[in-house]
Structure 1
Amino acid sequence: MAQRLPLDELSTVVARIQGLLLTEEKATTAVRLLAQAAKESVAGTIGAGVSLMDARGRRTSSGYTDGIVSQADAIQYECGEGPCLTAWAAEEPVLVRDLEGESRWPEWRKAVRGLPIASVVSAPLIAGRESLGALKLYAAAPGVYDASSAALLQLFAAPAATLLAHIQASEAPHRMTEGLQASLYTRDLVNRACGVLMERSGLTHEAALQQLMKFARSENTALQHVSERVLAGTLPPGA
């Protein structure tokens, strides 16, 4: 039987999720924190998980509380079907009261037959007009989840989706900045290596750069690594 949380307790749980997620920059950490909070919300739940997916339904990030969730989810992605993928694609909650009597997802049901999963509830993570993924709970006994469980999970999913979307968006500038910093570092490294070759062999900057590129191709390595060897004095003479 699903646990019906009073409104004030539910608000406390959601506030806790918000507080946790807003202090994190990584979506992978955020989904793990959300999964743990969701698991604690319904008695009888043996595992909870959050999966973020791209437009083609491919998992981009995931967090789960127990190994059973990871196994059941992995089988969904392998089979291309399952309650969580349906919740994500249909953008509506999916409730499985008793997996034994379920007729949907025949391949997935057959594949998870050996796992201790008897009931499932999953809700989509929708931010604006975009479905980001799904939040799901697994139970070992049938009848653990009902309509109130699905409603509760939706209450979790709504603010969580908004927060996860915010985290993903805020990470983009960080990724761009990190990429720019790496690019600038590599450019500086190559220029310094060219300067060493110019002084050592009397080459022009362009000729020194060509020499670095030629050696990188012959060694099947990155230009950055060749430059590091030049600066360290470990590049063979005449290379």
Structure 2
Amino acid sequence: MPTPNEPLPAKTDRALQDLSALTLRRHSMDTLLQAVVDATASTLPGHVDSSISVLIGSRPATAVYTGQLALDLDESQYERGHGPCLHAATTGELVEITDARTETRWPDYTPRAVERHALSSLSVPLPMEGLHAGLNIYATEADAFDDATQSAAREFARSAAAAIANMYDYQTARDIAANLELALQSRAVIDQAKGILMERQKLTADQAFQTLAYASQAANVKLRDIADHLVRTGEMPQPPRRS
């Protein structure tokens, strides 16, 4: 795993090596893509959230994400039918917002970004034929993406595209769409579980997500399985007791 004091290129290379070691026999589409966004958020400097947007037919959706900020801003763009993540996914162009407070494109979206304290963002298209998708990175600071950071983001986008391309070696295009739909279903279960925690414990969406993430780490169980257990039983799984 990358260490905090490593230069960004070295951290990126190490993270990409870890991603390349993941095998299709042990991972599904959604877990491979989740690994990419997790590595992106943990490797790039500053406080960032990351997601992958996918257009299934004409319907945009967020397949995987690292935090509530990324999900909220993705969906804010979907509601409006435009924004940096949709532009990158549909045109194949990298889109950077250096400061949402002064950005003149998408004037009905950028105030939402400022409200959520995401002052800069980077949307990187996934280099694949036949699929409109993009890697989105949201940062709390303005001008968060220098040349080295943009280069690293492109590498993570290529890694996500490679994961999808490798899946094509084993599945038909119809099977790929089914896997992406499964990723969306997993996200829906997580959203339901967050809603339960927000209502019961009076938490914010971010706090509810972190509560689920902590339970996942403590129990060494996938976050979606923790969420599914809560939705089905109404109870949070308890971590195993240490002897």
Query: Is the 1:93–1:150 Cα contact (8 Å) retained in structure 2?
Result: no
Assess, with a 3 A threshold, how the Cα gap between structure 1 residues 132 and 45 changes in structure 2: closer, same or farther: farther
- Write the mapping of 1:40-55 to structure 2, written as runs, cut at 5 A: 40-55=42-57
Assess, with a 3 A threshold, how the Cα gap between structure 1 residues 166 and 55 changes in structure 2: closer, same or farther: farther
Query: Is the 2:8–2:148 Cα contact (8 Å) retained in structure 1?
Result: no
Query: Is the 2:126–2:134 Cα contact (8 Å) retained in structure 1?
Result: yes
Assess, with a 3 A threshold, how the Cα gap between structure 1 residues 45 and 20 changes in structure 2: closer, same or farther: farther
Secondary structure of the 2:149 match is helix
- Write the mapping of 1:135-154 to structure 2, written as runs, cut at 5 A: 135-154=135-154
Secondary structure of the 1:99 match is coil
Report what 1:83 is aligned to. Answer: 84
Report what 2:36 is aligned to. Answer: 34
Residue identity opposite 2:121 in structure 1: V
Residue identity opposite 1:139 in structure 2: A
Once residues 126 and 26 of structure 2 are traced to their aligned partners in structure 1, the CA distance between those partners, rounded to angstroms, is: 18
Identity %: 23
Unaligned 5+ segments in structure 1 are 179-239
Secondary structure of the 1:121 match is strand
Report what 2:14 is aligned to. Answer: 12
Secondary structure of the 1:159 match is helix
Secondary structure of the 2:51 match is strand
Report what 2:127 is aligned to. Answer: 126
Residue identity opposite 1:41 in structure 2: T
Query: Is the 1:18–1:160 Cα contact (8 Å) retained in structure 2?
Result: no
CA-atom RMSD, angstroms?
2.8
Query: Is the 2:97–2:122 Cα contact (8 Å) retained in structure 1?
Result: yes
- Write the mapping of 1:1-239 to structure 2, written as runs, cut at 5 A: 5-6=8-9, 8-20=10-22, 22-56=24-58, 58-59=60-61, 62-127=63-128, 129-167=129-167, 170-172=170-172
Deviation, structure 1 residue 92:
2.0
Query: Is the 1:32–1:63 Cα contact (8 Å) retained in structure 2?
Result: yes
Report what 2:210 is aligned to. Answer: none
Could you give the per-residue CA deviations for residues 190-234 of structure 1, whole angstroms, max 9, x where no partner exists? xxxxxxxxxxxxxxxxxxxxxxxxxxxxxxxxxxxxxxxxxxxxx
Secondary structure of the 1:33 match is helix
Deviation, structure 1 residue 132:
3.6
Query: Is the 2:94–2:123 Cα contact (8 Å) retained in structure 1?
Result: yes
Once residues 36 and 163 of structure 1 are traced to their aligned partners in structure 2, the CA distance between those partners, rounded to angstroms, is: 14
Report what 1:228 is aligned to. Answer: none
Query: Is the 2:100–2:114 Cα contact (8 Å) retained in structure 1?
Result: no
Query: TM-score, structure 2 length as denominator?
Result: 0.62
Query: Is the 1:97–1:142 Cα contact (8 Å) retained in structure 2?
Result: yes
Query: TM-score, structure 1 length as denominator?
Result: 0.63
Could you give the per-residue CA deviations for residues 74-112 of structure 1, whole angstroms, max 9, x where no partner exists? 111111111111111221211111111111111211333
Residue identity opposite 1:5 in structure 2: L
Secondary structure of the 2:115 match is coil
Residue identity opposite 1:163 in structure 2: A
Once residues 98 and 24 of structure 1 are traced to their aligned partners in structure 2, the CA distance between those partners, rounded to angstroms, is: 40
- The number of equivalent residue pairs is 172
Assess, with a 3 A threshold, how the Cα gap between structure 1 residues 169 and 82 changes in structure 2: closer, same or farther: farther
Deviation, structure 1 residue 54:
2.9
Query: Is the 2:50–2:137 Cα contact (8 Å) retained in structure 1?
Result: yes
Could you give the per-residue CA deviations for residues 49-91 of structure 1, whole angstroms, max 9, x where no partner exists? 11222353522x5111111111111111111111111111221
Query: Is the 1:97–1:120 Cα contact (8 Å) retained in structure 2?
Result: yes
